[in-house]
Amino acid sequence: MLDTEFYRGRRLRMTPGIRALVRENEIRPADLVMPYFVAETDDKSFRKPIGSMPDQYQLSLAELEKQVAAAVKNGLTSVLLFGIPKEKDELASQAYADEGIVQEAVRRLKDRFPELVVITDVCLCEYTSHGHCGMVSKGGEIQNDPTIELLAKAALSHVRAGADMVAPSDMMDGRILAIRDTLDENGFLSTPIMSYAVKYASAFYGPFREAADSTPKFGDRRSHQMDPANSREALREAAADLDEGADILMVKPGLPYLDVIRQLRDTFETPIATYNVSGEYSMVKAAAQNGWIDEQRTVMEMMTGFKRAGADIVITYFAEDVLGWLNK
């Protein structure tokens, strides 16, 4: 006779229905944000593949609208926009130009899809001739305070164009306060800020540099992005951004920093986002194309891991794929 004193956990795993009944974390369409790269071009059919990110593209305004239309039909509720301007300069002037590429993309998407949540990345690296996230001194140092003035201008221009939310990704000190004050002073008290509060100086950003055409011409970004060895610092950065007016806190990248997501979730009541970044995406795509892993199962396991760690929102290049799988 079997000893019946031990725990029989398998009872709750025996059928798909029982597993679904007791499942602790679910991926919902509303949890997902799809990033798009929109390029300023006269070619309306412009659709340039990003070599290091299979199935991702730089898109013209017209192609962006078509891509988003298909995704919205499939259940997409939120997007994150990155702009690639025709011209770049040391002052990143196209980042805050009223007729800039992101501003035009916001207008087009909000006109066509008024219920879509349009979030804009606020940074200068795609718009500067040197590829850095801020103003650079003659000695090559990133200048913090002059940069946050331009970031605030950029955020204001995005919101005036119709953006529902702005997401500063630069990691300059004080940029949340500068943006919050600027938005409030101009009557946009209700516009939320999703802060890239905990953004590490990560090797996982490699493919993004190609996607956004934002590789620094010299140096790196370790003077402002966080040291991957630090987690207590993440709590300080998050707390500072909340004090300055952030409404949502983001951890970037996602997979190597699940512990940090959990620390933020356990410490703060605010919504937590994570960014499943380009390097994470490209590794899965490469392995799947080689037949080494099952792409769908791997991606869904990753998404569940983000949710289990405590993320409410997942920004991922897999969003369109996940929506398709959820709808099957």
Supply the residues annotated as catalytic.
199, 252
Lookup: tokens for 35: 């990033």
Q: Other C-beta atoms within 10 Å of 213: how many? A: 18
Please, are residues 249 and 238 in contact by the beta-carbon 8 Å criterion?
A: yes
Distance CA 220, CA 215 (A): 9
Q: In this structure, are residues 302 and 255 in contact, taking their beta carbons and an 8 Å threshold?
A: yes
How many angstroms separate the CA atoms of 2 and 18, rounded? Answer: 24
Own/partner long-range contacts of 106-114 (Cβ < 8 Å, ≥24 apart): 106/81, 106/158, 106/161, 106/162, 106/163, 107/161, 107/162, 108/61, 108/64, 108/65, 109/64, 109/65, 109/68, 109/79, 109/81, 110/162, 110/164, 112/65, 112/68, 112/69, 113/68, 113/69, 113/72
First and final C-alpha spacing in the chain: 45
DSSP 8-state secondary structure symbol assigned to residue 141: P
Tokens 């002052």, located at residue: 91
On the question of a cis peptide bond just before residue 35, with omega within 30 degrees of 0, the verdict is no
DSSP 8-class letter at 18: H
List for the chain the helix, strand, coil content (%; round to 5).
45, 20, 40
> How many CA atoms does the CB half-sphere of 17 hold within 13 Å?
0
